[in-house]
Chains A and B, each alone.
Chain A
């Protein structure tokens, strides 16, 4: 299964980013082949609608699940339109969370926040 995680750096040893929309990179990981690809998140530098842009990147990567500590409502609506499941990460380790997902111990993110709009000089 292809999954995505917001990460701080382009490395498996990096940490999970606390923000989804403004994360600098996304890790696209294949749980079967264990292949990893890192993508730039254009949402990180966008004026507004960062979550939408980030979610579009995730949708276009054809993943089945997103592992993230949090997610805004606009991003969530894009992801749900693409039937991508959103799981809540339990700590900031990439490997721990991938392992937890494979073991079936990760739970779905049920808390979708209203977003942090209007903080970029509107």
Chain B
């Protein structure tokens, strides 16, 4: 049996991706939680996992041998990110601009360019109860977390345990990479006009990727909810509602996991997990 991979995303930060993915992973009991929000991973603050080791993540960047470069500029012309410049008979390489495609090395007729490794972050493995906690962390100042996410997703175990992918906010490359292998996407939304604008962006993204998806309405009040209205108008499945609750906020601010402490939230997330699992199963029947 292959495991179900559920990505949790939202158009903006602070909507509740981490609280949702952490609690779903915790309520599933035997599961894998992968923190792809590599610029500010915080799922580990809740799980406080027992450390099982760290792996560094590298990218390959060009290394120049000045003696061999004859100034043909093929690398400068090739690089679409403009990571290379040729000035005063000398090639300049901008390491931070490089996207590690390797093209400059491949096309250099003089073999003046080779590759060197550069550490851009790390992956930390740990365990908390029955949850495997895998955290990616991008070093400060690095341009792109995509290589770390690619590596993170290789940690998905071959077991029937469900996988919860805590995505970075927004809808850029780094989010696309995080949802690429997901079977289902949970979009967390806030009941504000701004929240709807961002929800719309991630909706477009998951549709573009052809991912089955549903919306979880967070911070719900007894008032008009523009995010709910958006879902109704666009015929998007509403997976559940989390109330705007001070008790929940307090547990969260002390980095506690509500489903491990509150019966009410255990039931809420259990129901959510059940709904999502059913959605994924139905989807597999329709689109095997």
Q: Who on chain B is nearest to A51 by CB?
A: B82
Question: Count of B residues near A, CB < 8 Å?
Answer: 21
**Smallest CB gap from A121: residue in B:** B172
Name the segment of B85-93, B110-118, B147-155, B245-253 touching the other chain.
B85-93
B143, A56: Cβ atoms closer than 8 Å = no
A56 and B85 contact, CB distance less than 8 A: yes
In the complex, what residues of B have CB within 8 A of residue A56's CB?
76, 82, 85-87
Verify if A24 is at the interface (C-beta below 8 Å from B): no
A48-81 vs B: 1/0 string, CB under 8 Å? 1110110110010000000000000010011001
Within 8 A of A (CB), among B237-265: none
Contact B88 A81 (CB under 8 A): yes
A53-B82, A117-B143 as given contacts; A48 in contact with B90, CB under 8 Å: no
Count A/B pairs, Cβ under 8 Å. Answer: 55
Q: In the complex, how many angstroms separate the beta carbon of A69 from the nearest chain B beta carbon?
A: 21
Most central of B87, B172, B174 by chain A CB within 10 Å:
B87
Count residues on chain A whose CB falls below 8 Å from chain B CBs: 21
Contact A43 B82 (CB under 8 A): yes
Per-residue contact bits, chain B 43-63, to A (CB 8 Å; 1 contact, 0 not): 000000000000000000000
Check B88 against A49 for contact (C-beta < 8 Å). no
A81–B143 touching, CB < 8 Å: no
* Given A43-B82, A121-B172, A122-B144, A52:B94 Cβ within 8 A: yes
Chain A residues with CB under 8 A of B173:
121-122
- The complex places the Cα of A45 from the Cα of B85 at a distance, in Å, of 17
Min Cβ gap A18→B in Å is: 20
B143 touches A78 (CB 8 A): no
Given A48-B97, A122-B143: A77 in contact with B82 (beta carbons within 8 A): no
A91 interface residue (CB < 8 Å to B) = no
Q: How far is the CB of B220 from chain A (nearest CB, A)?
A: 32
Asked if B163 is at the interface (CB within 8 A of a chain A CB), the reply is no
User: Does A74 lie within 8 Å of B80, measured CB to CB?
Assistant: no
Which residues in B have their C-beta under 8 angstroms from that of A77?
92
Contacts of A78 in B (CB 8 A): 85, 87, 92
Give the nearest-CB partner of B146 in chain A: A122
With a cutoff of 8 Å between Cβ atoms, the chain B residues found around residue A82 in the complex are: 87-88
Contact among B76, B81, B84, B87 with A81 in the assembled complex (CB-CB below 8 Å)? B87
- A14 to chain B: which residues have CB within 8 Å? none
A47 at the interface (CB under 8 A from B): yes
Residues of A within 8 A of B144 (CB): 122
Interface pair A48/B92, CB less than 8 Å apart: no
B87 and A48 within 8 A (CB): no
Q: Which residues of A contact B143 (CB under 8 A)?
A: 117-118, 122
A52-B94, A59-B85, A122-B174 given; 19 more Cβ-contact pairs under 8 Å: A46-B81, A47-B80, A48-B81, A48-B99, A49-B79, A52-B97, A56-B82, A56-B87, A59-B87, A74-B94, A74-B97, A78-B92, A81-B92, A117-B143, A121-B172, A121-B173, A122-B144, A122-B172, A122-B173
Which 7 pairs across A and B sit closest by C-beta, in order of nearness?
A: A49-B82, A53-B82, A52-B82, A81-B87, A48-B81, A49-B97, A82-B87
Interchain Cβ contacts under 8 Å between A and B, 26 examples: A46-B80, A48-B82, A48-B97, A49-B81, A49-B82, A49-B94, A49-B97, A52-B82, A52-B84, A52-B94, A52-B97, A56-B76, A56-B82, A56-B87, A59-B85, A74-B94, A74-B97, A78-B87, A78-B92, A81-B87, A81-B88, A81-B90, A82-B88, A83-B88, A117-B143, A121-B173
Instruction: Name A residues whose Cβ lies closer than 8 Å to a Cβ of B.
Output: 43, 46-50, 52-53, 55-56, 59, 74, 77-78, 81-83, 117-118, 121-122
